[in-house]
Every structure is written in C-alpha cells, then in structure tokens.
Amino acid sequence: MPIHPHRHRRCRSATASVANRRAMMIEALSETERADALDGLPEWDHDEARDAITRTIVFADFIEAFGFMTQVALIAERMNHHPEWANVYNRVDVLLTTHDAGGLSSRDIEMAQAIDAIVEE
C-alpha cells in the first residue's frame, strides 16, 4: 500500500531527540577524502553537479539485472541508504549520493563497495 504523499513522515529525524539526531547526522566528504575514496573505486565516475558517483552496469539479460537490483535493495534497506537508479532491460544506471548530507558521504563509498562486490560475483 502506498504511503500517503502528504501525511507520511519523510524522515525519522523530524521527531528524533537531539542526541539521536546527532548520531544520525552525516557529513559530505571533503575534496581530499572524495579523491582518496574515488581512487579505490575505478568503475565509478564523479558527477560534479550532484556531488554523486555513478556507475552503469550491463548484464547478460533482464533477469541478471533485476537479480542484482534485488540484492542491492536488501543491502540498501539494511543500511538505510538508497540508490537512485534506472533499469532498461539488461542495463542498470546507479547514482549514489547522500541526501541528508547534500553530497557524497562515507555511506556512498560503502554502498559502492558493496555494489562492486555483487557485480564481481
């Protein structure tokens, strides 16, 4: 059942205590941190306009692509960190950025590493 677009709580932090809010806060990477992280992610490109990283993966067919997306979806839920992505048949375009930080954060780097590990399986 879809969540009502106007009445659902978009983010837990709206009602979180100050202490919890502190724990949930995440900062965007500095330029140096980003450059270091990207060195370890040769398959990923930096999207400057979004301060995001992107990767396109082409699979053998749709079922391989959707199987990949299913595995990533489970990790995304566990991490509470969700990709922006699109799928056309055997192709998946992935964009990672941290909305709460307004740019790339360590969560995106962790997610990119998890995605790379799945693709290499």
Ligand X SMILES: C[C@H](O)[C@H](O)[C@H]1CNC2=NC(N)=NC(=O)C2=N1
Contact residues for ligand X, defined by CB under 6 A: 11-12, 80-82, 98-100
What minimum distance in Å lies between the beta carbon of 79 and ligand X?
8
Pick the closer one to ligand X by CB: 64 or 95: 95
**Start-end of H helices in 5-61:** 18-24, 31-39
Q: CB–CB of 59/88 below 8 Å? A: no
CB atoms within 10 A of CB 121: 6
What minimum distance in Å lies between the beta carbon of 75 and ligand X?
12
Pick the closer one to ligand X by CB: 16 or 35: 16
Pick the closer one to ligand X by CB: 64 or 118: 118
What minimum distance in Å lies between the beta carbon of 117 and ligand X?
18
Both structure tokens of 67: 């199987």
Pick the closer one to ligand X by CB: 91 or 99: 99
Give the chain's count of helices (H) and strands (E): 4, 4
What minimum distance in Å lies between the beta carbon of 12 and ligand X?
5
Q: CA–CA separation, 121 vs 117, rounded Å?
A: 6
Q: CA–CA separation, 91 vs 81, rounded Å?
A: 21
